[in-house]
Each structure stands twice: as structure tokens, then as C-alpha cells.
Structure 1
């Protein structure tokens, strides 16, 4: 195998390992098949499997326990994305691009919900409205994630979560100034007013980032 072929083969092997994890429905904390079993299933040498697993362990995606085997970690808890962002996002423009892309996914989720009679009628929006009235605030990222989850686009949700990690946005509650635009957003969604929902979302963003 040539030097140029090695990185490609490694990526293919890691991709196949990812498929095995999905097929076997291995969850964080669950044990992975042994190196021998993986080598047989992937039709590669045990040394190739060992090298791929070692790389995944260095990235914090799996954990090897002495005498206990290899386990899938809760990799969402690791700081890998934040570490990578220090090398990838080196200019203000790149950070602004991440924020703009994140907003695109959030805005699209709002439009999908507002355009669906079934989705905009879900009781969860009344719950958020009541929480704002009683407590004066809501958990910001939790609310936005609820929007994207409800929209039904799982790929968008995965991308959005990575963008949140890159932006280093923290889990905080909304401020008093955010209460009004969020209420306007909720009401516009429930009524099916797409333009008004977009305007309210933009107003909320003006308050959040200024």
C-alpha cells in the first residue's frame, strides 16, 4: 500500500467501525467487539484494527480498560470540537460564519414549524410561554434545540450541535430583554405567521448578540 493510499484506507476503516457501532446499536458505556472479532468482520488484520482503535482513543471517542476491553465513550462530553476550533477558526470572519450558519438552521426550523399546522399546535409552545410568564426566562439552548428537534430534520440537528460547540455558546438562561421577542416568536409560530416569526427571531438575535 502506498503512502497516499494509507490515509484513505484508514478513513475507510474508521467509517466501517462507525457502521458496526450503529448496526450493533452500541451506546456510550457499552463494550465494543474484540479486536479479533472486528478484524474478522472487516476482513483486515488485527494490527490495522488496533491502529484505528488507538487513534479513536486518542480522540476520546473510545476508552480501553485494562483487562476489560474497549468501550464507547460519551464523546459529546469531550472537548475535541473546542480543541479543533482553536486551529480551524482563527479569524473573526470564520467565527461570524459559524454564527451565521447556526442562525440559518435555527431560522429554517422556525419556518418549518410555523408552516405546519400540526407542529405549531404542539403544547410545548404553551409550556414555554407559561415558563416565561412565571419565571421570566427559559434555558436558551434548550429552547432552540427543541425548535430544531420538532422540525424533524435530524441532520440539521447534528450540524447545529457541532456549530454550537464551535461557537462555544454556553447553556444560560435568557435575559429580561429577551422575554418580549421570544414571546412574539412563540405567538407568531402558533398562529402560523411566518414573516412575523422571522422578524421576532431576528429581533431576539439583536438582543442576544448586542
Structure 2
């Protein structure tokens, strides 16, 4: 199993385990969930993988992490949308290409919003990501995309995007390759300059590279 499929498997196993715990143990909103260590032992995966999956679940609104207190089940209203999306995406006859296309719609809209607002263009995260690429540090693909959605400020779009990314077959978890770096740098520069056309062009070029790197 390659890294992409392994990451997706871990994410889905954690979600499945939490759903079983909630049903079997009648866990109510506000109740504490198992620790990273317990989930790691039950799923036989590393704690870092559990931690990453829990962070995604927290962004989705499924759980709440309290500093020094552990992880707790969020209110039903917080994850009702996630349940609907998951049921839709997990239908066997649903084309994964539709999932990918819908994900791209949210990513492009995030780019448009960022380019249109000076405060978002000046966020330090773009310079930080650019420098990481310049220094050949490992930059994870989904981290850049996730920052786009977070910066755009649309929490609903972020929740939808995280679900789509979790079930997408596209390689969002592999490290960038040399061919991608100049394209990603061009995208980040375009975001900082507010050049929407250049940003879209770089984004589409990046997506074309991803299609050929599977």
C-alpha cells in the first residue's frame, strides 16, 4: 500500500472507530474521547498519524481539543454536515472524478478570495511556504491547499474541502517534486501580488503535474 492510500486508510479507520465508540458507549456532546495513545494502540498505527487525523477531525468540527484536558465530542449540530457529506462521498457508484472536481472548485474560490483582499495577501504564511520551497524543505501538498482554504475565511468551505480531500484519490500527501517547486513558488508569489489570473494559471499547471505524478 502506498503512502497516500495508507494515510487515507488511517483517517477512515479513526473516523470509523470514533463512530463505533459514540454509538456503543453512548458518548454525548461534551464527553471525553479516547486519548491519542489509546487510538494508536487500537488501530495499530503511529501516534503521529492519529494526531494528524484528529487535527483534521477538529477542523471539521467533529471534535474539540481542550488544552491539557483531552479531546471531546463536539455538538451534534457541528458535525451534521460532515455526516451528510460522508454518506454522499462514500456511495460506491459515486465518481471519484466528481469529488476531485468539486474539491478544485473550492480551491479556486479560495485563490480568488485571497487575491481580492490585501489583508489575506499579506499573511505571513505565504512567505513561509515560499521560503520552505526555496530551501528545499519538505512541503506537503495538502498543507498548501489547506492553508488556502483556511486563509479564505470560509469555514463551511473548509469543512467540505477536508471531507473531499480525505476521500480523494489524488496524491495530496506526497512530498513535492522538483518539477512542482517553481510552479508552487509562482502560485505563492501571485497570491501575494493579488494577480488572480497568474495564480489560476499556476494552480492549473500544478494540477496537471499532479495528474501525471500518480
Question: Which bracket does the TM-score occupy, shorter chain normalised?
Answer: 0.5 to 0.7
Q: What's the counterpart of residue 112 of structure 1?
A: 113
Q: 2:57 aligns with which of 73, 76, 99?
A: 76
Q: Distance in 2 between matches of 1:86 and 1:107?
A: 21
Q: What's the counterpart of residue 176 of structure 1?
A: 178
Note the 1:156-167 alignment, pairs <5 A: 156-167=157-168
Instruction: Kindly state the Cα deviation for residue 122 of structure 1 after the two structures are TM-superposed.
Output: 1.1
Over 3 Å counting, the alpha-carbon distance change for 1:86 and 1:114 in structure 2 is closer
Give the root-mean-square deviation of aligned CA atoms.
3.4
Q: Distance in 1 between matches of 2:197 and 2:164?
A: 25
Over 3 Å counting, the alpha-carbon distance change for 1:58 and 1:173 in structure 2 is closer
TM-score for both structures, normalised by structure 1: 0.61
**Structure 1 stretches of 5 or more lacking a match?**
1-55
Q: What's the counterpart of residue 60 of structure 1?
A: 20
Q: Distance in 1 between matches of 2:23 and 2:136?
A: 41
Q: What's the counterpart of residue 198 of structure 1?
A: 200
In the alignment, is the contact (CA less than 8 A) between 2:132 and 2:138 conserved in 1?
Answer: yes
Q: 1:185 aligns with which of 184, 187, 194?
A: 187
The more displaced of 133-142 and 149-158 is 133-142
Instruction: Kindly state the Cα deviation for residue 89 of structure 1 after the two structures are TM-superposed.
Output: 3.8
Instruction: Kindly state the Cα deviation for residue 125 of structure 1 after the two structures are TM-superposed.
Output: 0.7
Q: Distance in 1 between matches of 2:186 and 2:160?
A: 26
Instruction: Kindly state the Cα deviation for residue 113 of structure 1 after the two structures are TM-superposed.
Output: 0.6
Instruction: Kindly state the Cα deviation for residue 90 of structure 1 after the two structures are TM-superposed.
Output: 2.9
In the alignment, is the contact (CA less than 8 A) between 2:96 and 2:169 conserved in 1?
Answer: no
- In our comparison, the structure showing a higher alpha carbon Rg is 1
Q: Distance in 2 between matches of 1:130 and 1:139?
A: 14
Q: What's the counterpart of residue 25 of structure 1?
A: none
Structure 1 residues 134-186: Cα deviation after superposition (integer angstroms, max 9, x where no partner): 12541111111111000000000000011012214552221211111100101
TM-score for both structures, normalised by structure 2: 0.60
Note the 1:134-149 alignment, pairs <5 A: 134-135=135-136, 137-149=138-150
Q: Distance in 2 between matches of 1:127 and 1:148?
A: 16
Q: Secondary structure at the match of 1:62?
A: helix
Q: Distance in 2 between matches of 1:126 and 1:58?
A: 37
Instruction: Kindly state the Cα deviation for residue 206 of structure 1 after the two structures are TM-superposed.
Output: 0.5
**Residue-pair matches, total:** 150
Stretches (4+) displaced over 6 A = none
Q: What's the counterpart of residue 93 of structure 2?
A: 90
**Structure 2 stretches of 5 or more lacking a match?**
1-15, 34-53, 63-82
In the alignment, is the contact (CA less than 8 A) between 2:89 and 2:99 conserved in 1?
Answer: no
Q: Secondary structure at the match of 1:90?
A: coil
